[in-house]
Structure 1
Amino acid sequence: MAGTDTSDERPRPRWQDGLWAVGATALVVGVGIRLLMNGASAWPSAVVGAVPAAAWIVWWVRRRRVRDAGAVGAEPADVPGMERQILKGGPAPRDPERRREMAALVDSRQQRLRRNRWWAFPMLALIFFGTSALWFASGSVRAGSLMLGLAVVFLGWLTWYNLRFDRRLSQMRGRLRS
């Protein structure tokens, strides 16, 4: 019924939550990148090269979902819906079991986010800015400038997204406690 609070219901899986959708997206992106790099005439090798990468991504996403579900006591199919509810700022579920699962997922995500922050950002900055410096040192001002611009944009976006996700996790934790 429209307008009722359905926060206790398990979210219905969306089509993009399926592993086939993850694999198809990874395959399309992989083929697209390879075609951009090697030209349209290299499409057979692009497809053959992108298939193992797409299979690895599907395996990695499935493994992550199973581990997360096991850690919080939920079903693997429920994890993407719970993450979406956290990111969109939805209401906290009223069902005690569902609240416990959501709280465990929030704690797990926030711990992992904060644990890896101290080394991931400096490492990415070193890679991006170091590559830019190497391009400048080799005399390629254009490539160095492009890499520098990419570094600033990507690291800026990554910082914003990381802080936003951390804030959303804290907000959901607050809603779960009240």
Structure 2
Amino acid sequence: MASSARYDARHDDRPKRRWQDSLWAIGLFVLVAGVIVRLAANGLSSWPSALFGAVAMAFWVPWLVRRIRHRDAGASGAEPDDIPALERQILKGDPPPQDRHRRQQLAALVDSRQHRIRRNRWWALPMMAVLFFGTAALGLTTGSTTTGIGLLALGIVFITWLTWYNFRFDRRLTQMRRRLRS
């Protein structure tokens, strides 16, 4: 009951929290997905290693998400639990909040995210391309054409999607910055 009241009782114009944003839901999703993927890749006889590996990831990923939320909250002045809702507000293109304090928090989050995206873009995207295409070239030169062609196709699709998503998120951040200034 207290947990439900915490999620429903929102004051001013703070966005409503969703259960998918909670750390336990992220951990549970990682656990289930990890077990399914590892069983599909290695067969049903590998269930102990699939379970142990997935449990380790189910603890590590929520810890990483919590750490990132706390860092973003420190940079923006918002609460860590509000960071996912603020990100959704940016990605959906929702209008900025009316409250001056909330606008400042959102502007600080936008600045922090945009700085981080632009700071790492110049080396991260080319490095991912080198990794994918280098692995594909290695597979093709060693005579494993199926693996090489598969990795080449995966690399092309993944790098294209990653570039598109990176520039899309940067564009959304720029649009939110403009809306906050107007």
Normalised by the shorter chain, which TM-score bucket?
over 0.9
Q: Tell me the equivalent position of 2:9.
A: none
Give the TM-score of the pair, scaled to structure 2.
0.92
1:140 aligns with 2:169: no
Q: Determine the C-alpha separation between the residues in 2 that align with 1:120 and 1:26.
A: 24
1:45: Cα distance to partner? Answer: 2.1
Cα deviation code 1:120-178 (max 9, x no counterpart):
01110010000000000100111100000000000000011011101000000000000
Q: Which has the higher contact order (CA 8 A, sep 6+)?
A: 1
Provide the rounded CA distance (Å) in 2 between the counterparts of 1:44 and 1:135.
30
Structure-2 separation of matches of 1:90 and 1:19: 25
Residue number in structure 2 paired with 1:5: none
TM-score (norm 1): 0.94
Match for residue 29 of structure 1? 33
Q: How many residues get paired?
A: 171
Q: Does 1:18 align with 2:22?
A: yes
**Structure 1 alignment gaps of length 5 or more:** 1-7
| d(CA) in 2 for partners of 1:12, 1:150 | 37
Please list every run of 5 or more consecutive structure 2 residues that lacks an aligned counterpart in the other structure: 1-11
Cα shift at 1:81: 0.2
Q: Distance in 2 between matches of 1:13 and 1:43?
A: 35
* Structure-to-structure mapping, 1:22-171, within 5 angstroms: 22-171=26-175
Give the distance between the partners of 1:45 and 1:153, measured in 2 at CA: 30
What do the CA deviations read for 1:72-106 (whole angstroms, capped 9, x no partner)? 11100000000000000000111100000000000
Runs of 4 or more, structure 1, over 4 Å off, are: none
Is contact 2:13-2:98 (8 Å) kept? no
Identity between Structure 1 and Structure 2 (%): 63
